[in-house]
Every structure is written in structure tokens, then in C-alpha cells.
Amino acid sequence: MVNSEITVGLLLGGASAERAVSKHSAEGVLKALNTLGYKVKLIDPAYGNNQPMNESEYFAECDCFPISSSNYVDIINSNYLDDVDIIFNALHGTWGEDGKVQALLEFKNIPYTGSGILASAASMDKHITKSIIKHSGVNTPDWILVKKNTFRFDEVKSIIDEKYSFPLVVKPNDQGSAIGLSICNTPLELEKGISFAFQFSQNVLVEQYIGGFEVTVGIIDNHVLPIIEIKPKHSFYDYECKYTSGMSEYEVPAKFPKKVCELLQSQALLAYNSVGCQNYGRIDFRMDKEYNPFCLEINTLPGLTSTSLLPKAAKADGISFEELIDKIIKNSFVYL
């Protein structure tokens, strides 16, 4: 089947804290899909049956209609997707990467890009991800899970005093884009960091901070891409550094010793496969000054904006942005 015979439903926006990031990803994907000759149908599931009439309204900063995760069911159960051959999932965060929308699409028997239900759900939950990959032999920073409904700071501090040392990383267990993340150097900062992270999730990860290098490894259909070293202008790779042009520098391919790169790539592929990911993804690491890698998380729907990391890694491997998007779609049909 040629591209012009395929209608791609581009899923964007959504109801998560990463709604704006999703729209930015979708802008690049839409341009690539048009260049590649696909028919495209835009779908913002957070609007439900109230889909905008004009393309520009999908990307507007102000919402056209009230948004809600409950609207996903309405639009996916409607006839709106009847002419769609495959969904390109450009959503990020909850109700996009966590297996929920994947389940709805499978109930409708609609193919989609990215990983399946189980891998998506496991990868979105950082505690589960780290548990699985550690069992599979992937190194990851030590951590504890703090639950909001049973949280007592004195109990957390007691565990920290016994097993950990500052600085510590505090982040929501099921968010991306560094949303709700803090680097804590004192008990007071730790308490504030946990309270801040609870604004975004019912469960919070307290993780040992790894000083050294920030690196990431992209994967397309089990092909491991060149490693990227990230050099943020801030003390860590926060939301602004991720999505503001000029706020980070990127070394791709990273200039680490060959054996270090091979270890990083093998650890990335092991983490990816141990959780059951497919199609494409990106694995984030910290690496200490002795070049020991520590896997932080798995991104099953990594960003596809102009500053995003997966397209940078693909370009270093000789894959243009349009070719990357085409590969993602073509590979998705293989998993049917």
C-alpha cells in the first residue's frame, strides 16, 4: 500500500500535564506526514466529540472546548475514526503513554504506533520500570516509593538516613518531561520536594542522585541509535532545558570510550526488551564519573519536537525526520 492510500489519525494534545509538549510533537509529525504523502486526520481525544473544524485550532495555546480524560472514550467509540487506517500516537504523559488509550484503540481494533498496553503501562510507572529492569540486570539508582495516602516524612527521613545520602532526586512516579522533579540537598528540601511532586501524582519516587553525565539512547525497531550526551544550562535537565532552544547542548554521537558506548547501548536494549517495548523508544541514563551507567526511565513515546532527542539520534544515524516518521508507521503495521 502506498502512502497516499493510508489515512493516519494523528493523536495529539490530550488531558495530561504534557498537553503542550504533545502539540509541539504533533506539529512536526504533521509536517512530515504531509511531506510523505499520507492522508492525515487530526484527533484531540481530550475534546471528545467536539473536534475543532480548523487545523490551526488543534495547535492553539487556548483550548477550543473543555478538556477531560473522560472524553477519550467518547471520541474513540464514535464513528470519527472509521476511515483511519492507523493512529500515530503523539500524546505524552498520562492517558497517552500509560496504556489507557492503547487499550481503547485495541478494543476498536485500530492499529497504533508505539508500544502495547502492558509495556506502556509498565514504562509509565517508574517504580515498576526500575523493578523490572533491575531484575533483568540493568543498573538503576537506588530508590524508595512514597505513597501519598500513607506518607509520613519522619518515616521517609529514617529510611533516607539509614541507606541514602544527599543529594536526592524527587519526582512523580508517573509523569514525564521533568514535571514535578526536584534535586534535594537537605531534609527540608526533601520534604518540600515530596510535597511538590505530590501535586502531580499519588506516588513519588525518591532516588539516589548520580553525579556525572546525562545521556540518552534511542531505539527504533530494536536498532540502537547513537548515544546522545546532554549538557543542560541549568543544574539538571529540567522542563525549560528540554523544550527551550539553546538551553541545552547535545553531543551526538557522544564522545565516550568505545566500550562505554557499547555498554550503554546494550543496557538500553536490555531495558527496552525487558519491559516488552516495541516500535521505538528512548532510554534515559545518568552515568557517574567512572562511566558506570544508571538507567532512569524508559520513554515509549519520546518527544518529536524540533529540540527532541530521538530525531537528533536518528539524524546522526543517517535517518531524516521524515524517514523516522515513515519507519515508525511502517514498523507499526508489522506488529498487527
The residues annotated with a catalytic role in the active site are: 18, 177, 243, 282, 284, 297, 299, 303
Query: Could you say which DSSP state residue 20 is in?
Result: H
Cα–Cα distance for residue pair 273/48, rounded to 1 Å = 34
Angle at 76 between CA 21 and CA 31, to 5 degrees: 40
SS3 216: strand
Which set of grid coordinates corresponds to residue 13? 494534545
As to burial, measured by CB atoms within 10 angstroms (0-12 exposed, 13-18 middle, 19+ buried), residue 89 is: buried
Cα–Cα distance for residue pair 320/169, rounded to 1 Å = 35
Angle at 234 between CA 232 and CA 235, to 5 degrees: 100
User: How much of the chain is in helix, strand and coil states, percent to nearest 5?
Assistant: 40, 20, 40
**Rounded to whole angstroms, what are the CA distances from 56 to 39, 42, 78, 289, 308?**
17, 11, 23, 47, 22
Strands 168-172 and 143-147: what pairing? unpaired
Name residues whose C-beta falls within 8 Å of residue 86's C-beta, 6 or more positions apart in sequence.
6, 7, 8, 9, 110, 111, 112, 113, 329, 332, 333
Question: Is the bond leading into 253 cis (omega within 30 degrees of zero)?
Answer: yes
Calculate the dihedral angle through the C-alpha atoms of 32, 336, 105, 53, rounding to the nearest 10 degrees.
30
> In one letter, which amino acid is 116?
G
